[in-house]
């Protein structure tokens, strides 16, 4: 069994090879996008925000005397609750491991132009491959799309 301790959205993260410490750079709480309206062009319904970011999570392992598998998912939900995208991963641990971190990397956000508001990254986990995912954390990000 894994216990979720924390998750953070940041622009970049780095793990030091010698000390195995993680550094988080540019933690993200909100994103602002300005779109300049061109008189000669129509604004499309969708925009692509060229942003790279990481969702970094820290977990503890209850029983380090055996190998464990962490099945987790990071999913982004629009302000209306609709799922925008997700990433699923499995981490296989070894005997003696008492904690782990995972870094889910993302590149770009495609959003509808009128969808400013609070987006939520949800972190899910499940104990076994055939179980249902359970939410263990919600990370809000306010996205403001401003048309000028």
The CATH number of the domain covering residues in 2-147: 2.60.40.2550
pTM: 0.88
Q: So what's the pLDDT on residue 146?
A: 87
CA pair distance 38, 145, nearest whole angstrom: 16
Place of tokens 């000390």: 19
Beta bridge partners of 19: none
pLDDT one digit per residue (tens) for the chain, 148 residues:
899 999 999 999 999 999 989 999 999 999 998 887 766 556 667 888 899 999 999 999 999 999 989 999 999 999 999 999 999 999 999 999 999 999 999 999 999 888 899 999 999 999 888 999 999 999 999 999 888 7
8 Å CB contact between 52 and 105: yes
Give the pLDDT confidence score for residue 41 in this predicted structure.
59
pLDDT for position 43? 60
Neighbours of 43 (CB within 10 A): 12
The side-by-side arrangement of strands in the sheet containing 83-92 is 30-35, 134-147, 117-126, 69-77, 83-92
Q: Would you list the domain boundaries of the chain?
A: 2-147
Distance (Å, whole) CA 50 – CA 110: 9
Token pair listed for 40: 């000669």
Q: Give the DSSP letter string of 43-92.
A: PPSEEEEEEEEEEEEEEEES-TTS--EEEEEEEEE-TTS-EEEEEEEEEE
């Amino acid at each position: 069994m894994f216990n979720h301790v924390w998750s953070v959205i940041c622009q970049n993260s780095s793990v030091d090879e010698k000390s195995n410490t993680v550094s988080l750079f540019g933690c993200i709480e909100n994103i602002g996008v300005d779109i300049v309206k061109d008189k000669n062009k129509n604004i499309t319904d969708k925009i692509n925000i060229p942003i790279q970011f990481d969702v970094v999570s820290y977990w503890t392992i209850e029983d380090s005397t055996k190998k464990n598998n962490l099945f987790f998912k990071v999913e982004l939900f629009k302000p209306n609750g609709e799922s925008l995208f997700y990433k699923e991963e499995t981490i296989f641990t070894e005997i003696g491991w008492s904690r782990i971190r995972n870094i889910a990397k993302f590149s770009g956000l495609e959003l509808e132009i009128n969808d400013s508001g609070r987006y939520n990254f949800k972190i899910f986990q499940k104990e076994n491959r055939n179980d249902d995912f359970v939410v263990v954390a919600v990370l809000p990000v306010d996205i403001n799309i401003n048309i000028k």
